[in-house]
Amino acid sequence: MTAWLQTRRPDVLLLQELKGTEFPSDLFRELGYESTAVTQKAYNGVAVLSRHPTETISTTLGGDLGDSHARFLHVVIQGIHAVNIYLPNGNPVGSEKFAYKLAWMDRLAAQMSEWRRADLPVLVGGDFNVIPEDIDCHKPSSWIHDALFQPEPRARYRRLLELGYTDAFRALHPGEGGHFTFWDYFRQAFEHNRGIRIDHFLLSPALAQRLKKCEIDVAPRRLQKPSDHAPILVSLR
DNA sequence: ATGTCGCCTCATAGGCGA
């Protein structure tokens, strides 16, 4: 990951699924990045790395004071509200975890609606754990029983777009299938490009106007011991 | 149902979440 960081030198990097309480801030500082991390033991965890000064606005998603999962981090960097999310997976369908996912998405919609009312320049990025459309997976029939593909989370994802947010990748690549950000470790899924597009950047109108480029970098997925996700990059004017 | 990976613990195997 540090090799990738040094090669690509993004201004900002949003990380999800830290899965531990240790975060190597010193390492990233040596590479020129300040870091803000929200962690918990074993599960979840999100962090923002930035080459520019970062102001932390919130480390929790509103709407449920009893929710202690480390899944949300809202910062401001160079006037842009960058919100890093690790949206609940929700499997198995119909479980308490599925209900938590839907409730979390309703809370996110409420928050994103507020930001729209205030007309803030907002970028929400991260692992949404939602396959928005059929073209965002290699074969819909393989996913019909999965929480990431259910009508309810997909309707809630569309609701976020209806609030006025732009799916950065889809806006620049309309109708293009075969572009994924996640492939299972099983059965050589990556080698066969049997994946899903679940990591997204949603941009408020002011930032959507500045959208220049959005690409998925599949190269890290080919390395030894890779993450099951590939990074998605967005460039703004 | 299964496949793989990485974390955790009443730990060196099995459960859990992905």
pLDDT band at A140 (very low <50, low <70, confident <90, very high): very high
CATH architecture, range A87-236 = 4-Layer Sandwich (3.60)
Specify the pLDDT at position A85.
98
Asked whether strand B has any atom less than 7 Å from the CB of A142, the reply is no
Number of helices (H), then strands (E), belonging to chain A: the values are 6, 13
A186 contact partners, CB below 8 Å, separation of at least 6 = none
Specify the pLDDT at position A94.
93
Specify the pLDDT at position A112.
98
Q: Where are the domains of chain A?
A: 87-236
In total, chain A counts a number of residues equal to: 237
pLDDT in tens, A56-78: 999 999 999 999 999 999 999 99
pLDDT in tens, A86-100: 999 999 999 999 999
Q: What's the average model confidence in pLDDT over A96-109? A: 97
Q: Determine the 3-state secondary structure of A139 from DSSP.
A: coil
Which bases in strand B are touched by protein, i.e. have an atom under 7 Å from a CB? 3-9, 17-18
Specify the pLDDT at position A71.
97
Residue A110 pLDDT greater than 90, yes or no: yes
Asked whether strand B has any atom less than 7 Å from the CB of A65, the reply is no
Specify the pLDDT at position A139.
94
Specify the pLDDT at position A4.
95
- Nucleotide whose C1' lies closest to the alpha carbon of residue A86: B18
pLDDT band at A1 (very low <50, low <70, confident <90, very high): confident
Question: Measured over all CA atoms, what is the biggest interatomic distance in chain A, rounded to whole angstroms?
Answer: 47
Cα distance between residue A111 and residue A204, in whole Å: 13
Q: What's the average model confidence in pLDDT over A186-207? A: 96
Closest CA to the C1' of B7: that residue is: A42
Q: What's the average model confidence in pLDDT over A179-187? A: 95
Specify the pLDDT at position A62.
97
Question: Over chain A, what is the mean pLDDT?
Answer: 96
List the beta strands (DSSP E) in A119-218. 122-127, 166-167, 182-183, 195-196, 199-203, 211-216
Q: What's the average model confidence in pLDDT over A185-189? A: 92
pLDDT band at A228 (very low <50, low <70, confident <90, very high): very high
Q: How many other CB atoms are found less than 10 A from the CB of residue A110?
A: 12
The spacing between the Cα labelled CA in A186 and the C1' in B13, in angstroms, equals: 22
